[in-house]
Amino acid sequence: DTGVSQDPRHKITKRGQNVTFRCDPISEHNRLYWYRQTLGQGPEFLTYFQNEAQLEKSRLLSDRFSAERPKGSFSTLEIQRTEQGDSAMYLCASSLAPDYEAFFGQGTRLTVV
Amino acid sequence: AQRVTQPEKLLSVFKGAPVELKCNYSYSGSPELFWYVQYSRQRLQLLLRHISRESIKGFTADLNKGETSFHLKKPFAQEEDSAMYYCALRVGNFNKFYFGSGTKLNVKP
């Protein structure tokens, strides 16, 4: 599968722990996006990278959240001191250009217990 | 504020029946509307976008700015159309989407 890859697919963590997710975009896609999807809702935008530069962050991305794309290829999303409200599917997407089709990964499902 | 509303959480139709999945949006600028689909155990994927004005898998959608709607239609539903459908509004010049809450389409044999 040469699409957007996310790891892990599932993560169960205790409240208060830190977690980190990884996204590998389609190669040569220099635009990368993170979305969060809670049960019964559509995805919500979190943040956007052009190469290694984080160009936009949603207000949903509290101080406990940090996203990086250090070499302009893969990206990581870290959540510190997880809370039960962080339980969601975290989706990554990439595109060749800012307004070209966005291709989504299969997501990382986080459960905070 | 930007908002996308899909009023139906579930839509069940019989094979061969017409389908219309409703989508309404709220946006003060010039809207770009999309339909995304998620088949069972698969990733979210683009179905169609209003600017291309094309039919994909027999589905069409027309942007109606007067009614602020972008309903998805298909004249004859197939069982393989069963999936979750999301309407999305793109804001700005990159892929920042506002998604609706989705409609699950169930096509019965």
Q: What is the mean pLDDT of residues A56-70?
A: 93
Residue B47 at interface with chain A, using a CB cutoff of 8 Å: no
Q: Are B59 and B35 in contact (CB under 8 A)?
A: yes
Q: Distance from B79 to chain A by nearest Cα, in Å?
A: 23
Q: Can you tell me the distance from the alpha carbon of B29 to that of B69, in angstroms, rounded to the nearest whole number?
A: 14
Residues A72-91 pLDDT 10s: 899 999 999 999 999 999 99
Predicted local confidence at residue A96, as pLDDT:
93
B99 contacts in A (CB within 8 Å)? 41-44
Residues B72-81 pLDDT 10s: 999 999 999 9
Residues B1-49 pLDDT 10s: 899 999 999 999 999 999 999 999 999 988 999 999 999 999 999 999 9
Q: What is the mean pLDDT of residues A80-107?
A: 95
Residue B52 at interface with chain A, using a CB cutoff of 8 Å: no
Stated as kind and residue range, the H or E segment containing A39 is: none
